[in-house]
Structure 1
Amino acid sequence: MDLTLDQLSVVTDGRALVRDLSLHVGSGTVVGLVGPNGSGKSTALRCIYRALKPSAGTVRAGEEDLVRLPPRQGAQLVAALAQDGAVDLDFTVAEAVALGRAPHLRGNQALSARERELCVRAMDRLGIGHLAGRGVLTLSGGERQRVLLARALVQEPRILVLDEPTNHLDVRHQVELLSQLRGSGLTVLVVLHDLNLAAGACDRIGVLSAGRLVTAGTPQEVLTEDLVEDVFGVRPTVVPHPKSGVPQLLYSIHPDSEESSPSCA
């Protein structure tokens, strides 16, 4: 199922957080959103999972306008892993993951055998099956992040949106998570700060700055030295990955390097 943002704008207290954003995520593809802090990435995602209502423009899942859909139907199409996602009550991991089935249940309807198996498979897939009986509040930040992703997967969405899903994860789990996204078959829009991870994980990348889309394209088209300097204020050296060929950005932190960013007064 395609995801389309069409001339999306969000204005709050007279300030435009997102301006005329148009972006297409093809069915089954992984598209990354990158940009400096405050560039509108999280705001755009909140419009997709309906935590915010756009001031103008539309968000469509296939031909459906997500703003107009009943909440239950929208949640059956789109699952989200928000930047500030949390489980505040001390559910067990298994209970927290099972909450992902809520859009498909009526009232206090019990999970079916198939749904229980779905939860087990999602926990095993994220490497948290051994934590099923643990309280969520006893987990590390990285473990909780994987619980929230498992909860999103058991929702069986057609579209998955994730806001900085690699936060709190060590390198191994970052790579594993992004590899799973590529192999999920879902339509994925993901906000990432690590441009090298974005290059390796995403079919296409959209670059935001000051609420506007600067450019969108393949990692090779987008992640150039000039664009990164213009948008992020630091000039990298871009080299192809020796195996995949995707661009990888190298930065120098030596204080005398010409690539170093200006010091802050």
Structure 2
Amino acid sequence: MDLRLDAVSVAVDGASLVRDLSLHVARGRVVGLIGPNGSGKSTALRCVYRALRPTRGTVRIGGDDLSALTLRQSARRVAALTQQGGSDLDFTVEEVVALGRAPHKRGNEPLTGAERELCRRVMDRLDLLRLAARGVLSLSGGERQRVLVARALVQEPEVLVLDEPTNHLDIRHQVEVLSMLRDDELTVLVVLHDLNLAAAACDRIGVLHQGRIVAEGSPGEVLTAQLVRDVFGVEACVVAHPVTGSPQVLYSLVSTPEGRWT
């Protein structure tokens, strides 16, 4: 299913966090949101996984107004990896991953054999099988992040929403996680701070600045030296990757006359 945000605005305590945001994520495509801290990226995602209700506008999945669905119905259709997705309870890795099936179960209904096999396959793909019996509180930050990605994938959603999924991951696992999103042909909306990862992983990129979309298009259309300067306040050179041709942003450290670094 596709995902569509139609003129979504969010105001909290009189502050406008997102303004008239319209964005379309076509079925099976990966769309990235980039922008400076405080530009409204995470707020936009919260509207999709229903942690926030838009002040104005509509979020639609496959044409259905998300707000008209029950929480169980929307949980079956949207899975989210948030920046606050951890737990203080020392469940095992396999227990946390299995929680992804919760929207599809009732009460304490046990997993079916097919669901257990699904959990095993996803853990295997994310290099977690060897950690299955470990408590999550004993894991490194990167290992925990992979567990949370696995939990979201086990949910088998129509739409996957990810807020900084590569946090704490080493280079190998960053590449593996983002490659998996593309290989599985999921409908994905993802926030990334690394512009080069966004260029490599995303079909399209939306740039948020002060709560508004200021640019949207393919990575090659969006990631220009002028945009990086205007939106992020950083001098950069943008070149083509020698193998893939995707844009690569090379940053410059330039000292201002006041001695500050931009």
Measured against the shorter chain, the TM-score band is over 0.9
Q: What secondary structure, in the 3-state scheme, does the structure 1 residue paired with 2:226 have?
A: helix
Distance 1:208 1:116, change over 3 A: same
In structure 2, the partner of 1:234 is 234
1:105 partnered with 2:105: yes
Structure 1 residue 88 displacement after superposition: 1.9
- Conserved 8 A contact 1:119-1:154: yes
Could you tell me which residue of structure 1 aligns to residue 222 of structure 2?
222
Deviation at 1:252, TM superposition (A): 2.2
Secondary structure of the 2:115 match is helix
Q: Tell me the distance in 2 between the aligned counterparts of 1:128 and 1:119.
A: 10
How far did 1:215 drift? Answer: 1.1
Residue 253 of structure 1 deviates from its aligned partner by 2.7
SS of the residue 1:24 aligns to: strand
> Could you give the per-residue CA deviations for residues 18-44 of structure 1, whole angstroms, max 9, x where no partner exists?
000000000000000000000000000
Distance 1:143 1:173 in 2: 9
1:91-240 to 2 correspondences below 5 Å: 91-240=91-240
Q: Any idea what the Cα deviations from partners look like across 1:215-259, whole Å, max 9, x if unmatched?
A: 100000000111111000012100000001010010123658xxx
**Structure 1 residue 261 displacement after superposition:** 11
Identity of matched residues, %: 69
TM superposition outliers: structure 1 runs of 4+ over 3 Å = none
Q: CA, structure 1 residues 156+262, in 2 after alignment: closer, same or farther (shift >3 Å)? A: farther
1:113: Cα distance to partner? Answer: 0.2
Residues 233 and 261 in structure 1, CA contact (< 8 A), matched pair in contact too = no
Q: Please give the secondary structure, in 2, of the residue aligned with 1:157.
A: coil
Return the TM-score normalized by structure 1.
Answer: 0.96
Secondary structure of 2:149's partner? helix
Q: Take 1:212 and 1:168, find their aligned partners in 2: how far apart are those partners? A: 28
Structure-1 residue corresponding to 2:260:
263
**Which secondary structure state, in structure 2, belongs to the residue aligned with residue 249 of structure 1?**
strand
Counterpart CA distance in 2 for 1:40 and 1:107 is: 36
CA distance in 1, matches of 2:173, 2:258: 30
Shift of 1:68: 1.6
- For residue 87 of structure 1, report the CA deviation from its aligned partner: 2.0
1:29-64 deviation line (CA, Å, top 9, x unaligned): 000000000000000000000011110100001111
Distance apart, 1:7 and its partner CA: 0.3
Structure 1 distance, partners of 2:258, 2:94, is: 46
Number of aligned residue pairs: give it: 262
CA distance in 1, matches of 2:254, 2:37: 24
Unaligned runs of 5+ in 2: none
Q: Does the 8 A contact of 1:87 with 1:96 survive in 2?
A: no
Distance, in Å, in 2 between the alignment partners of 1:75 and 1:132 is: 24
State how far apart, in whole Å, the 2-side matches of 1:104 and 1:247 are.
40
Q: In 1, Cα distance between the equivalents of 2:2 and 2:129?
A: 32
Secondary structure of 1:199's match? helix
Cα displacement (A) at 1:184? 1.3
How does the TM-score come out when normalised to structure 2?
0.97
Give the deviation of 1:185 after TM superposition: 1.4
Within 1, Cα distance between the matches of 2:43 and 2:34? 13
**Structure 1 alignment gaps of length 5 or more:** none
